[in-house]
Chains A and B, each alone.
Chain A
């Protein structure tokens, strides 16, 4: 028994060390965000400095990170909402109705789920150019309407949770089909929407290559693109400002994670065990 206790103590220490190693890069980022450039050049310390406001002034005079933050938010929220609504609508139609090509549509989903995103990237770029949508958010947002994986996930969810008798009752009461979708099916799907929504949001928030290709104007840049632009900008001359810029792109997401971690983690296991 004593051996086990000793072993456990050792394991907890090892785990704590691993956690510390995991967070050192973030901690260094936050400490250096508060130190001046010359302080950073002199050497490293674990104690925060007092130059955060100066760093902020330097950063903000070259690059509007909050603008990037807002831009990322606009894109990610639009993508998440469109993805959830239209995937639910499509899954609803696939589950409830019989129609021609239903199986073809379903099989094409399964195939498309395996195709990497880069395959159509060059085509998407030229299509956006032809439609006059280059340097706008449309090419980033509109494709969210057709998300095969989300439809697939919602379809499986609806098959197991929705009884068609609810819809029959609704029809007898004279509700329209779309009305029933809004009032019955969407609320029923909410847990599945939350699960997929979190991942869709994170995916869109972190997406780098598509906005990098599509966006040209700095005032439209999303955060990842702005981070890429930061390295070649005058901000790179001031390491403190650089660290602060990175911190601004990272810390709010960490805070959001604190509140959502439970949902996020149960979603990962749900996806994997089913997959």
Chain B
């Protein structure tokens, strides 16, 4: 370590200035908006200070709770499907008796959808799932699986499932790669000792793999929660940008966006941003604590 050096201030100055102006200040400004009835137009000077009025509205806003519920449902379904595929693949590819080849190729192929622009994916599925002319209905009809076209994007259950499954399709490759790396990091000795002791595959899985994998599972779970609560591009562009059918794709960030920029409710939009932030912190903290409390036991 060097002594105090004036140049240090010069070197960190760009970061600190931009950090304060473009990061911290907008966050504080957003908080201030959340205490006003600012419309987003004509300047904040014309807005009235309403104290915690918006926050009181938030905790009694049925649309917000609906959006929260929609986000959770979509995320939950997505996470279960995504993890089942990812964990299954990771176990297959790490199995010492199977010694599967082509890990590199499969990892790359399964990862590919992760880097595709979500807006493009949403638009693609918007037309693939179209009632009359979508490729999915055309395919199912010509295979004789269905007799009449199904209006996928007009049914809340199908639409939410579609978002969850498209998400699972996009992101399982990422979880697979992380889980595989985690499982490969577990010492072979454990498994060999278990094998000698006559442990079944299931016993080694629940007694060695899962406990050893806990930090990695926690990482996957928390990043997935944080990302899942911010779900926006997919539900917005899959249907009418307002969460149709029947508001079932109205996620928290979509609600925030529409309140602030479509209905000119900047103040309430800012409150929604803080609501989302608090929910994210609570979820991450609870996940973290439950995962680690079990480990202590």
1/0 contact trace for A64-89 toward B, CB 8 Å? 00000000000000000000001101
CB-defined contacts of A239 to chain B, threshold 8 Å: 127, 133
Task: Name the contact of A272 in the complex, choosing from B33, B142, B181 (C-beta under 8 A).
Answer: B181
Partner of B119, one of A143, A178, A208, A253: A208
Q: Is the interface of A mostly helix, strand, loop or mixed?
A: helix
A44 to B1, CA, bound (A): 67
Q: Judge whether A89 and B18 touch: CB under 8 Å.
A: no
Q: A44-B138, A122-B33, A123-B28 are in contact. Are A11 and B117 (CB under 8 A)?
A: no
A231 within 8 A of B: yes
Instruction: Specify which chain B residues have a CB less than 8 angstroms from the CB of A115 in the assembled complex.
Output: 27, 277
Is residue A173 within 8 Å, beta carbon to beta carbon, of the partner chain? Answer: no
B178/A269 in contact, CB under 8 A: yes
**Smallest CB-CB separation from B239: which chain A residue?**
A231
Question: With A and B bound together, what is the CA distance between A99 and B7 in angstroms?
Answer: 10
Q: Which of B112, B181, B253, B261 contacts A269 (CB 8 A)?
A: B181
B276 at the interface (CB under 8 A from A): yes
* Interface positions of A from 101 to 128, Cβ below 8 Å from B: 105, 112, 114-127
Q: Is B66 an interface residue (CB 8 A)?
A: no
- List the B residue with the shortest CB-CB distance to A37: B133
Decide if A126 touches B44 in the complex (CB within 8 Å): yes
- Smallest CB-CB separation from A123: which chain B residue? B26
* A230 CB–B CB distance under 8 Å: yes
B9, B124, B220: which contacts A246 (Cβ < 8 A)?
B124
Chain B residues numbered 1-55 whose CB sits less than 8 Å from any CB in chain A: 1-5, 7-9, 11-12, 14-16, 18-19, 21-23, 25-30, 33, 40, 44
B178 touches A99 (CB 8 A): no
As a 0/1 sequence over residues 116 to 143 of chain B, the CB contacts with chain A under 8 angstroms (1 = contact) are: 1111101111111000110100110010
Main secondary structure on chain B at its contact with chain A? helix
Contact across chains for A25 and B216 when beta carbons are under 8 A apart: no
Q: How large is the interface on A (under 10, 10 to 19, 20 to 34, 35 or more residues)?
A: 35 or more
Contact residue among B104, B112, B266 (Cβ-Cβ distance under 8 Å from A254): B112
- Known: A115-B27, A151-B15. Is A230-B98 also a contact (CB below 8 A)? no
Q: Quick check: A265 and B108 within 8 Å, CB to CB?
A: yes
Q: Closest CB of chain B to A31's CB: distance in Å?
A: 9
Q: Can you report 13 A-B residue pairs in the complex whose CB atoms are below 8 A from each other? A: A22-B109, A22-B113, A41-B133, A89-B15, A99-B5, A112-B23, A114-B281, A122-B260, A148-B19, A164-B2, A206-B119, A253-B117, A273-B182
Name the B residues within 8 Å of A257 (CB-CB). 108, 112, 115
Beta-carbon contact of A119 and B115 below 8 Å:
no
Contact partners of B98 in chain A: CB under 8 A:
4, 7-8, 11
